Chain A
Amino acid sequence: MFTPGFKFFFGLAMGLVTAAVVYGYSTGGDHVGPLVWGWKGGIGDHVGYVTLMGLGVVAGLIAIALVMYRDADPAAQAHYAGVDSIAPTTPAAASHWPVVAAFGAATMAVGLVVHSAVFVVGLVLCAIAAIEWTIDAWADRATGDPVANKALRDRVMAPIEIPAAGAIAAGVMVLASSRILLNASANGAVIFAGLLAVVILGIGTLYAAKPKLSKNLIAGLMLVAGVAVIAGGIVAAVDGEREFERHEVHEDGAADDTHADE
């Protein structure tokens, strides 16, 4: 019933706890202090008592873990569960959410020091990764068929992911474009807006005219355009807005235009 691993660690735990109690009493512990972790009475020398008791607790936890897993022996597990065989574990599929979670954690760490807004961005990334990771973990074990699991996962998450991703992408593009428009000169802003419209319409026209065009090509074009706009937006945001013309109003109600942005 009890595995050798359990017996070893349980015995070790009992020995360490006993040693902690004896050590506690022999170094000045009083009443029942060493027996009840100092709840009533002293435990004697703190360092030695805590070390021995801590190790005893850890050994006890390992013993419990080992008996739970039946020393990792599928035969013993199967016997314990009263079945002929234990179902093998389904391998975890590749996932990019752990990397997103890591970037989220790093963003939070930097945001903790730099600015609360950065921290919130990291927190949002971590929250998204946690939700996606949880759903993936659930879907991986939903049925015995990985293809069905993937379809099930997509059915649950796609109605949320696609609109959310679209909204985020649109928001980022609008934000980046607005930074460029605010940074560029008056004429430059017009040219940029025109170019952006041409690119969007061009890609749309291309796709409409040749619906069998490679998806990779379309995705590549959109990626290049998107990265260019975002990079331009970041540079523009760092550089700041251009100086805008101000309208000074005189006491008689007449307005003077000052043209600062040439």
Chain B
Amino acid sequence: MTMTESQPASAVADNPPAAPSAAHGLYDWISTTDHKRIGRIWILVSMVLLVAFTVLGTFVGLERAEPATSGFFGGQNSYFQMWTLYRLGMVLLVVMPLFIGLATLVVPMQVGSTNIAFPRAALVAVWSFLLGAGITIVSVLVGGGWGALDGVTGDEADAIALTLVGTGMVIGALLIAAICIATTVVSLRTPGMNLMRVPLFAWSMLVASAVWLLTLPVAIANLILIYVDLRGGPLTFGDPEASGAIYAQIAWLVEQPQIYAFAIPVLGVIGSVVPAYAKTRQADHALMVVMVGVFGFAAIGGWSQPFFFDSTEDVVFVGFGLLAVVPVLGVLGGSLLTLFRGEKPTDRPPAHLHGALAAAVLLFGAVASGALRVIAPFDLAGTSAITGIFNLVVFSAVAAALTGVWFWSPKISGGLVAAEDGRIALLTLLTGATLLGAADVVAGFYAAPDLLLFETGSDVVDPLLIASAAGGFMIAGGMVYALGGFLVSFRSTNPEAGADPWDGHSLEWSISSPPPVANFVEPPARVVSESPLLDSSEPDTDGEDA
């Protein structure tokens, strides 16, 4: 269907305006409006935080497995603070910024734009995030956090209030960044690239941004309510019975169905990596686009607030839990079909293919466990299965984000990150995360509670908790290794990376590595399919331009 009856002779001006000049020095890093620099800041910061939080997760797991002997945190209350910091931090300070960093860097190039939409807003987002993250982490370390199991005292109230405003600032920053990414996909696409032709990663980020924008403001509203309760009147949370209510009001962020919202880009990364490896078009691209949208729909979780009303047996809650399996299976099936149809390279698969498969396995494990979680007879509500599902989703997202870092490393640093480092890091992550997540899900069937800090005395649960802690330890080791490999690569650019070392299909692979300041020296040719680099020499025959 043709939207323009007669195409103007020259729709885009021949000489695009001068781009901002390449910048150097500290001032240029803090004032840059180049989306690639902003993306690099996001990625570096979130990778450092990833290492920190996986190490924290290891200590939390060890404390949980051996509470009588380990005593890392010095009491129930400190354990609760670190437990909540790990949960909310992994989502808000690691997974979301990692994907936002990748998207800030890659999406404008994928859609053929010279920059991200609202580049100054993107800059304010990254700096607000850094400051908000700093306030949140420091306030937790000085005794704040999201509640206190033994009742909030007067001294703790200030630190908790700081944690709340820091969390709100982080969420606000992430939302601003999401607006920039979504607007880029909606309004800065190159001619011919309709929404069905948008690369899957960019599309998944549009869906994820929409879901985040729809749901995360609800979390900000929750934080405001808690803040008012904490500061506005008598110390409501001073009563130990009521003090747990702080975390309970925002726990929905890290539980089903909302937790899936942070894994939507996983499907996009898989859909970008697999066709490039197979050197063929994505099988059933249109179906994949729809599947990503369906997964986004199943991940809308702002309505499910167990603190205010128990929705766990609600038909919508059960339906969302079961529905989430369908799109993941659809994307996995499409990817396998693409691998089957494509070329069969005889050399060793690159690190990013390992990562894509690891992310796929973990995400499938997560949604399958989530489907079991919503089936009432299994009685998994309030058990450690919630922790297991959380860890599977989060580390699926981490695996996908690291896959993206390895895959798009020529656009991030100009060179290739060592493949062997990637393989080791991602396979360690897969093994560790499977152990970490599966052990908790299985323990859930034996009624192990979600927040656990005592010897259960069970011959099944206790070994599972030790296995889970061992998984966490493996992950932390793998992440330290991954960060080291990435930083070494970041410092020493490999000149042989070239513009397109993977035979990629989307527009970012038509640009030199590292990309120039305004990305495209010449405006990209009119896009006629979802794989413009595969058909750049073919004429536009379908006429679906607009």
Q: Which A residues contact B (CB, under 8 angstroms)?
A: 1-5, 8, 47-48, 50-51, 54-55, 58, 62, 65-66, 69-79, 83-99, 101-103, 105-106, 109-110, 112-114, 133, 137, 144, 146
Contact = CB atoms under 8 A, between A and B. Distances in A.
Given A48-B316, A55-B297, A110-B135, A91 B518 contact: yes
B303 A101 contact: no
Contacts of B414: none
Given A3-B194, A73-B545, A89-B17, 9 more contacts: A4-B544, A5-B194, A55-B300, A72-B111, A78-B8, A91-B17, A105-B128, A109-B162, A146-B17
Interface string B178-192: 000000001111111
B114 A84 contact: no
Contacts of A71: 3, 189, 194-195, 546
A71 B188 CA distance: 9
B321 to A, nearest CB: 14
A75 B120 contact: no
B114 to A, nearest CB: 7
Interface in B112-154: 114-115, 119-121, 123-124, 127-128, 130-132, 135
Q: Which 4 A-B pairs have the closest CB atoms?
A: A102-B127, A98-B124, A75-B11, A106-B131
A99 B123 contact: yes
A58 B210 contact: yes
Given A8-B195, A95-B33, A102-B127, A84 B316 contact: no
Contact of B32 (A74, A94, A110): A94
Interface string B3-44: 111111111110011111001000110111100000000000
A227 B135 CA distance: 25
Nearest to A144: B17
B9 to A, nearest CB: 6
A109 B194 contact: no
A2 B3 contact: yes
B165 interface: yes
Given A72-B186, A93-B20, A99-B124, A110 B193 contact: no
5 contacts: A3-B3, A51-B316, A71-B546, A91-B17, A91-B33
A109 B10 contact: no
A131 to B, nearest CB: 14
Given A72-B186, A93-B20, A96-B31, A85 B8 contact: yes
Contact of A106 (B17, B19, B28, B169): B169
B462 interface: no
Contacts of A84: 8-11
A188 B127 CA distance: 41
A76 B127 CA distance: 37
Contacts of A2: 3
A47 B305 CA distance: 11
B456 interface: no
Nearest to A146: B18
Given A73-B189, A73-B191, A3 B546 contact: yes
Nearest to B144: A113
B68 interface: no
Interface of B: 1, 3-13, 16-20, 23, 27-28, 30-33, 111, 114-115, 119-121, 123-124, 127-128, 130-132, 135, 158, 161-162, 165-166, 168-169, 172-173, 186-196, 210, 214, 297, 300, 303, 311, 314-316, 518, 544-546
B10 A76 contact: no
B4 A79 contact: yes
Nearest to A7: B1
B1 A110 contact: no
Chain A: interface secondary structure?
helix
Contacts of B130: 102
Contacts of B190: 72
Contacts of A113: 158, 161-162, 165
Contact of A109 (B32, B111, B135, B214): B135
A91 B186 contact: no
B165 A110 contact: yes
Contacts of B191: 73-75
A51 B33 contact: no
A70 B28 CA distance: 35
A59 B158 CA distance: 41
Nearest to A5: B195
Q: Which of B19, B111, B119, B192 has the most CB of A within 10 A?
A: B119
Contacts of A70: 3, 546
A127 to B, nearest CB: 15
A156 to B, nearest CB: 18
A132 to B, nearest CB: 11
A96 B23 CA distance: 13
Contacts of B193: 72
A78 B9 CA distance: 10
A61 to B, nearest CB: 10
Contacts of A86: 11-13
A62 B544 contact: no
Given A47-B311, A72-B189, A109-B165, A101 B158 contact: no
A83 B11 CA distance: 9
B316 A94 contact: no
Contacts of A91: 17-20, 33, 114-115, 518
Nearest to B14: A85
B195 A94 contact: no
Contact of B196 (A4, A78, A93): A4
Contacts of A79: 4-8
A83, A101, A109, A144: most-surrounded residue (chain B CB, <10 A): A109
Nearest to A97: B120
Given A4-B1, A4-B546, A84-B10, A98 B186 contact: no
Contacts of A65: 186-187
Please indicate which of the listed interface residues B4, B23, B132, B188 has the most CB atoms of chain A within 10 Å of its own CB: B4
A98 B195 contact: no
Most-contacted residue by chain A among B28, B194, B210, B315 (CB, 10 A): B194
Contacts of B16: 88
B141 to A, nearest CB: 15
A26 B131 CA distance: 49
B210 A62 contact: yes
B228 to A, nearest CB: 12
Contacts of B195: 4-5, 8, 66, 71
Contacts of A54: 214
Nearest to B319: A48
Contacts of A58: 210, 214
B124 to A, nearest CB: 4
Given A55-B297, A110-B135, A94 B128 contact: no
A20 B162 CA distance: 40
Contacts of A72: 111, 186-190, 193
Contacts of B131: 102-103, 105-106
